[in-house]
Amino acid sequence: MKARCAVLLTSLLAFAACGGGESSPKLPDVRLPTLGGPLGPSLATCSTAKCLTVVVAPWCGVCHQVTPEIVRLRRFLDKAGVGSRVVVGLADLGPIKGMAALFGSDTLLDPDGALSARGVPLFIVTNRNGEVVKRVNGFPSGASSPEELAAFFELP
């Protein structure tokens, strides 16, 4: 039995190494409404070489604590020509809209959980095609400025 398991495991690893494994995970091809009203662009696309998507929830104390840092980071990224967006979800629409107002009218509303998150805040860096390059649960410790946060997420 051990020999069969070893052969099966070796075969699966070889198959994955030869390109038979899954491609990079991607954000879903969905368009969410913005706080301002219109639908935002698809989560699976990015207008710049890399994008930062931040997922927060109204019931998350840490999310509220780091909101000013997220706002400063988005301003910094905007000036640097890097796309970013905030998705507020994982709650009822009323509290979602209340929290979204802290980030601005372009904040994406996700009351139905189109972008699932196991924990918030969640930071997702994607490339132009929506492929996930980096995923970080929780707010990075040790970064105290927008420049340090951008460097942590490997954003220009």
pLDDT in tens, 97-117: 999 999 999 999 999 999 888
Structure confidence by residue, pLDDT tens digits, 46-100: 999 999 999 999 999 999 999 999 999 999 999 999 999 999 999 999 999 999 9
In the chain, what is the greatest distance between 2 CA atoms, to the nearest angstrom? 61
Domains recognised in the chain with CATH numbers: 25-152 (3.40.30.10)
Rounded to whole angstroms, the Cα distance separating 8 from 12 reads: 6
* Of residues 146 and 118, more confidently modeled: 146
Q: What is the pTM of this model?
A: 0.84
Query: Contact 93/101 with Cβ under 8 angstroms?
Result: no
